[in-house]
Amino acid sequence: MPVPLPPAKAAPLSARRDRGLRGGLKPPGDKSISHRAFIFGLLTTGETEVEGLLEGDDVLRTGKACAALGAAIKRLAPGTWKIRGPGIGALAPPTDALDFGNAGTGARLMMGVVGSHGITATFDGDASLRKRPMRRILDPLRLMGAQVLAEAEGGRCPIALKGARDPAPILYRTPVASAQIKSAVLLAGLNARGLTTVIEAEASRDHTEKMLAHFGADVRVAAEGEGRRIELLGRPELAPKPVVVPADPSSAAFPIVAALIAPDSDVLVEGVMLNPLRTGLIATLIEMGADLAVINRRREGGEEVGDIRVRTSGLRGVEVPASRAPSMIDEYPILAVAAAFASGTTRMRGLDELRVKESDRLAAVAAGLAAAGVPSAVEGDDLIVEGGAPMGGGTVATHMDHRVAMSFLVMGLATREPMTVDDASMIATSYPDFRPAMERLGATFE
């Protein structure tokens, strides 16, 4: 398979208000499902075909890691890939360290895979990934019998992990609503004898559970309080199944908010996945008064998808409850941009997890808003944004965070003065086509 390019050197980019955005676009394939497509291909004996895969740097690195563990991976056409896996229990020890670049999801899910496989692998990544907490994954894997042979201070990458030879199935309550923790435990549970159970106090995105069922595993999901209980019977024989990846709602968020705030816009964002555990931003924008309609609802790849028509809208500030965070966790930077154009105050509650994303997103977003002349405050774990008609004209430090970069470029399409980000290169991790796709709608970057 093609080796992902090393991150380009810092590439500043500016966006400025010009004509309205018009036309249609389909965002790239969902990042969460794309990572998992490679991983399920690895863990399934035989050939898995994937359509609509996101060919971003993050996902390609997961593919490369799967190849290092014994999968044969081939790109047949843009977005169409074939993975021939050795299957559960038959993974090869990798010869080199696995480099996940910027990708927390790839690193954490693959730790789950290695953690129950009796092989040793070193997990590493870029400066951003090396800052992210990994104990949340290593703790349950240790309970299953994995050993951490080496780690950087605070349980960070590079981490050498020795998987358990005969992993114990566990019952695990995730300490935070995190699909990555849940998924790491479930993927490890695939090679454990007996029943692995994960209980989450709030439901996080359920792509792993859905794909386990799709590939024929015995997995049961039940409501438990406000959250869920997931039970997986280990050592199934996964059966190859085609994977169709719908468009990523987290990437769709950028053209959607751009069309809401850029004057005189009317955009159709097509084929967006509407999994209810991913649509918190849509619900919030509608509460803010967005002229946004979901049309042509249909099913694709086991998910509901729809086209979203968005027109320039007068927004008003709202209060976003903490309970909504899991369903829009990656969308707060772009919601903060929408809030900057709303009348009144927007308060987003319960954002502690934003501090451990690709950057400290609470701090990065507050600093970006300040650079645009937008008053904001962080109170405890809440972000408060005072909306208005932002002047813009500032430069934003992106801290190796693709979503911070795209959010403030979108902002620049509507501020009076252009907005600049210090480095747009990380956008390639999740939305390689962002700039040309937005330009086709009429956006101006320089």
Binding-residue pattern over the window 340 to 359 for ligand S3P, x denoting contact by CB under 6 A: -------------x------
Distance CA 362, CA 341 (A): 18
Count of residues near ligand S3P by CB under 6 A: 10
Question: How near is the Cβ of 133 to ligand S3P at its closest, in Å?
Answer: 9
Question: Residue 40: phi, psi to the nearest 5?
Answer: -65, -35
Q: Which of 14, 32, 62, 196 binds ligand S3P (CB under 6 A)?
A: 32
For ligand S3P, give the closer residue by CB, 203 or 374. 203
For ligand S3P, give the closer residue by CB, 178 or 265. 178
Does residue 34 interact with ligand S3P by CB under 6 A? no
Q: Which of 48, 183, 196, 284 binds ligand S3P (CB under 6 A)?
A: 183
- Paired with 295 in beta bridges are 307
Written as one letter, the residue type at 441 is L
Q: Which of 34, 62, 102, 105 binds ligand S3P (CB under 6 A)?
A: 105
What is each CA distance from 254 to 141, 258, 415, in whole angstroms?
36, 6, 15
Of the residues 30, 57, 124, 330, only one is catalytic, namely 330
Distance CA 441, CA 310 (A): 13
Q: For the CA atoms of the chain, what is the radius of gyration?
A: 21
Question: How near is the Cβ of 357 to ligand S3P at its closest, in Å?
Answer: 6
| Token digits of residue 23 | 């036309």
**Rule CB under 6 A: which of 253-312 touch ligand S3P?**
none
Q: Which of 21, 179, 185, 262 binds ligand S3P (CB under 6 A)?
A: 179
For ligand S3P, give the closer residue by CB, 272 or 374. 272
414 exposed, middle or buried (CB, 10 Å; 0-12, 13-18, 19+)?
buried
Binding window for ligand S3P (CB under 6 A); candidates: 13-21, 173-181, 307-315, 415-423: 173-181
Q: Which of 44, 62, 178, 425 binds ligand S3P (CB under 6 A)?
A: 178
Question: How near is the Cβ of 183 to ligand S3P at its closest, in Å?
Answer: 6
What is each CA distance from 70 to 42, 74, 165, in whole angstroms?
7, 13, 18
Distance CA 274, CA 318 (A): 22
| Token digits of residue 49 | 């075909």
Tally of CB atoms within 10 A around 110: 29
For ligand S3P, give the closer residue by CB, 18 or 353. 353
Question: How near is the Cβ of 402 to ligand S3P at its closest, in Å?
Answer: 10
For ligand S3P, give the closer residue by CB, 16 or 205. 205
Question: How near is the Cβ of 102 to ligand S3P at its closest, in Å?
Answer: 11
Does residue 252 interact with ligand S3P by CB under 6 A? no
Written as one letter, the residue type at 375 is P
As a whole number of Å, the end-to-end CA separation of the chain is: 33
Q: Based on the residue annotation, tell me whether 30 is a catalytic residue of this protein.
A: no
CA 353 to mean position of chain CA atoms: 13
- Sequence length of the chain is 446
- Paired with 99 in beta bridges are 124
- Binding residues vs ligand S3P (CB under 6 A): 32, 105, 178-180, 183, 205, 329-330, 353
Catalytic residues: 330
